[in-house]
Amino acid sequence: MSTWIIRGESIHSQTNTIIYQLDMYEQFQAQGLNVGDKVFYSDSTHITCICKIMSITIIDRITITMQIIDDHHTLANTHLRKIWGLKNLDIFKLEDIKMLLLNEKEEKLLDSIWKAPGTLEGMAKYEHLDNYLFQFKSAADDWLREEEKQKSRYQFFKNFSKEENLATMNWEYFEAIGEQLPAFQMPLLKEQALGKQKASMYVYRKSFLDLLFGESNMEVRLDNFYSSTDSKLPGFGQKSLGELLHYLLPNYYCSFTNQEMYAIEHLYKETLSISIKEKYSIGSRIYHYQKLINQSYLIEKYLTIVGRKTDLPIYYEISCFLRFVYNALKNKESFNVPSDRKECAQYWMYTIPHSVNPGLFLDGKILTLYHRKLGDIRQYKTKQEVWKQHRQLYKNSHVPYLKTSALFQFCHEMKEGDYVFIKRKEGQIVAFGQITSDYLFPQFPYAPSYRKVKWLKTGKWVIDGRLYYRNRLINLSRYENTLTYLLELISE
């Protein structure tokens, strides 16, 4: 049984049956559709129900009868097109596509969202996190390579934090954490915190007991752990306390050193109040930062995009991700687009076929698209005119909408001064250039239409698993996150 998304009109019928029709020239969209297949039925704005194909008849038109099996809620298309694993589906990008066959992974993801629709808006709201997670995916093994050492640390703190052990803790017992916290690999920090006992053991015990077993709400307990004169650990700074918090509560809190805090403030800068540092103490900030991490579905996004890499607590992996973001922000060098860039310049992705040698293609310094019998595309004012002419010329109801739409864009929408990424089908960017001519129609029969291009940068940048477009040419200008990712990618 296959699973599809079918887009049609809004359902107003009181019955549990949908009658859906296609023109004969649209038959190609329904190839592979069978009785019994599962359908996510969508109108122009929402997926409104799940259906089952009951019958398919072909006479003058293709008539598909569907039985509604679940219509308890809806999923907004504006949110779905921002979800990793669904955002690149053609049906969310082109209004002319009415039916789309889902692969197993896409079906499983969409089904999980249907079963928990309350997660959709939040996951879409924090779409920008996806790009950072995708970049971390290829580097994750390097950032998570101390698994055995970390297992030993977690086991130490699991025993250390038992109430009976903390209640009877002496200095030697407490001093043992000096061999466990990464912050204390710097001798000066270790000496500052553990060089000598700076308060009665009651203060040390109280700090841990109040944090882990106190009766106040967690925000107050964190505030006291970081700031209270009665229970703050003497000689401990934000780095050591931030690490300690994670090891004591590894299933509930990230590590909160300055690096993680910096990364969080960057990742959530649109959500966090400008005055949050003034409004909240450090403990309260950490409480709200951790809450924001959870509310943004960062864990769910991490598991989907990166996947579990260790058997350690998930917040250890999240902490490593945040440190990766910090490192990237502090060390990245942005790619400089030439200073003569036009304000209204657009960005395009052009895919070269398997059969074309990339080296020879780059040497040619032109982009080509075959118009075949359609002739000079400048004579058509709309995409619909191109489609109509194609039917007449080829005497075929089947119209390659994506290819003919790309021809129209290549002629009418692409402009001199626009920028273009050149992609191989294997999932690799091989060049970044600037369009230097208008649409040019060839003087020789059977030659393709073309535009001249100047290469600004050439190389090999792997994007396998990231971008998948069926069309030869696509305008990326409105896909801000994708565009930012690609510009940063070619700056490496």
Q: What is the pLDDT of residues 120-171, one digit of tens each?
A: 999 999 999 999 999 999 999 999 988 999 999 999 999 999 999 999 999 9
Which CATH number applies to 347-490?
3.10.590
| Averaged pLDDT, 56-74 | 93
Q: What is the pTM of this model?
A: 0.65
| Averaged pLDDT, 89-110 | 91
Question: Higher-confidence residue: 386 or 67?
Answer: 67
| 420's tokens | 């273009």
Domain 3-117: what homologous superfamily?
Answer: ph1033 like domains (3.10.590.10)
* Cβ atoms 313, 251 nearer than 8 A: yes
pLDDT at 337 over 70: no
Report pLDDT for 472. Answer: 85
Strand residue runs (E) in 23-145: 38-42, 46-58, 62-70, 75-76, 99-102
pLDDT at 334 over 50: no
Report pLDDT for 339. Answer: 45
CA dist., res. 190 & res. 172, Å (int) = 14
Report pLDDT for 338. Answer: 53
Q: Is 92 exposed, middle or buried (0-12, 13-18, 19+ CB in 10 A)?
A: buried
The model's confidence at residue 362, banded by pLDDT at 50, 70 and 90, is very high
The 8-class DSSP code of residue 275 comes to: T
The 8-class DSSP code of residue 231 comes to: T
pLDDT at 48 over 80: yes
Report pLDDT for 335. Answer: 47
Percent of the chain with pLDDT over 70: 92
Report pLDDT for 78. Answer: 93
Report pLDDT for 480. Answer: 63
* Cβ atoms 70, 20 nearer than 8 A: no
* Range(s) of the chain covered by CATH 3.10.590.10: 3-117
pLDDT at 396 over 90: no
The model's confidence at residue 101, banded by pLDDT at 50, 70 and 90, is very high
Report pLDDT for 278. Answer: 67
Report pLDDT for 383. Answer: 83
The model's confidence at residue 94, banded by pLDDT at 50, 70 and 90, is confident
pLDDT at 343 over 60: no
Mean pLDDT taken over the chain = 88
The 8-class DSSP code of residue 11 comes to: P
Percent of the chain with pLDDT over 90: 58
